[in-house]
Structure 1
């Protein structure tokens, strides 16, 4: 569909020219109708761009600023979650590309309260990956990682590779697991700081992780693959009284969990939903000092008119992250 370009930002809003926008797994779920949305709406919530105009009352940004945005677009600011800073759980919120027109367009409107500066030296291509990085930072934040922890990450996709870097920034020892199809991504994990990588089809990952941890298992596991086999493996990777964090989503598919194993091992299981201000603060600061690299993850680039090819590339798991650019 053709949508009219947004013209004037309203009170507290920014009119932004989109310079780069990323394809997310959620976008695929929406396309496949396995994730509830409110059509017709422009998709897209991972982006970086330039402020063209600011609305009434805006004080933190000006035309020419390089910005990105959080996925939540509008909040009720009244519920318990909003008032406690956990607005990612606001039941009345709408999101970029989810209820509100998103960033798969040349121009978009964002709320000042949801906007963040793209740090100097970070390209628009890398800036488009700040939103998924904030989601991973949120997972790290609510899980809790110590410098003496061994962290196992199942699935070296975009989130897994971001998780690798953020866990290393916390000082942890990081093990990344994948399959034959993940050979290039496992190589990338090593380049981005992983201490160990394991191809589960060539090596007994459970035995290797126990060998590396004195027979105990990983202190923390992050499931980033979104597959039943990965879930099962993570319950074996984690030590007794360890932490299991579910990062991947499943597009409505029902997954099985070995509840007996969770009980017997006293595993603390954590789910992750979106992001909040504290995770964005961490994202901006880590990028500004160069502790996380986003540029290497953006392996495939397309014009926005090639969105079907971009979606297909992402769905086939070719490369790592797909970024699109609006054409003139």
Structure 2
């Protein structure tokens, strides 16, 4: 079968031919239908995010069960499924506290598509407990969005239901900023602004017809000052850019009692400068968000199902473009240029 493999030692991403995997005990083999390229994948190939030395990428994917291994219950061949690529070890302090995303033995240290072979291939072998059947309302392409949506749902849970009259700012209009926008709208929020330097991405937010403003960060900066922060500042800021200068600048735009959600993945060694006095005097909350502990079920059964016929119906409006696996270099190039919000491989 064909697969997109990252070789860190050789510093090469390439299309390779590898054997089709077989299902061992407790595993299923998924015939992959759709696999998304995540911003984390770009960080991996830029050596800004840890991964196995040699691995088939792809932690966002959907498909059909091709083979079922011994000991697997609840699935049949032909089932339409998506995959939660993360799991804890189940035996450590973090797992006992339902913090599997912080597991020192599992979590991000064993993620499918990062540390174990993933879904950018014709077939992928997956432990059955990490597989979720798709409701009839959710298509296979939408199923490949369930993993990023489950991470956003984790962020939403950490945000803890802000009031509906909140002024909200989203930093960045890549696919994560786009999906955050649709979820805020889905949940009833109407006073939302998206900050994005690229005109094409701003136009994409406008094309969603959510009624949200999409503005250049310089425009925001020109209209906000310490003197008018009560009127022009924000109750919630969600960073989807992972760009430290943007994060540092936006932090001063928080109103009293506001929350800053750090969702975007920054390179590990990057730093920002913020004022401790501002955190103290405004009683600000800074919220991190690491992957998707226990949010996949609610995503598949609730969020994706509820949004499938509306916000997730037209992929072109979301800025998602389909590619063949052999077109991986062009897919990554268009993604890096910001010509699309997301590249997805269609098998």
The partner residue of 2:101 within 53, 78, 88 is 88
Q: Distance in 2 between matches of 1:49 and 1:200?
A: 38
Q: Distance in 1 between matches of 2:273 and 2:30?
A: 43
Structure 1: which 5+ residue stretches go unaligned?
Answer: none
Cα deviation 1:211-262 (Å, max 9, x = unaligned): 9996263221101112233213321332112100101112334131313333
Aligned residues: CA RMSD: 2.6
Residue equivalent to 1:45: 59
Q: Distance in 2 between matches of 1:121 and 1:199?
A: 34
Q: Distance in 1 between matches of 2:194 and 2:227?
A: 15
- Count of residue pairs the alignment pairs up: 323
Displacement, 1:64?
Answer: 0.9
Q: Distance in 1 between matches of 2:129 and 2:318?
A: 28
Aligned residue runs from structure 1 range 246-257, under 5 A: 246-257=262-273
Aligned residue runs from structure 1 range 175-194, under 5 A: 175-181=192-198, 183-192=199-208, 194=210
- Please state if 1:142 is matched with 2:158: yes
C-alpha contact (below 8 Å) 1:209/1:218 kept by paired residues: no
Please, which moves more after superposition, 165-174 or 89-98? 165-174
The partner residue of 1:115 within 117, 131, 145 is 131
C-alpha contact (below 8 Å) 2:224/2:232 kept by paired residues: no
C-alpha contact (below 8 Å) 1:164/1:174 kept by paired residues: no
- Please state if 1:17 is matched with 2:17: no
Cα deviation 1:134-191 (Å, max 9, x = unaligned): 111111111212342332111111111111122223322342323441x333333344
Structure 2: which 5+ residue stretches go unaligned?
Answer: 1-15
- Please state if 1:277 is matched with 2:294: yes
Residue equivalent to 1:155: 172
The partner residue of 1:307 within 320, 324, 328 is 328
Q: Distance in 2 between matches of 1:208 and 1:120?
A: 47
Q: Distance in 2 between matches of 1:274 and 1:151?
A: 22
Normalising by structure 1, we get a TM-score of 0.89
- Please state if 1:79 is matched with 2:109: no
Normalising by structure 2, we get a TM-score of 0.84
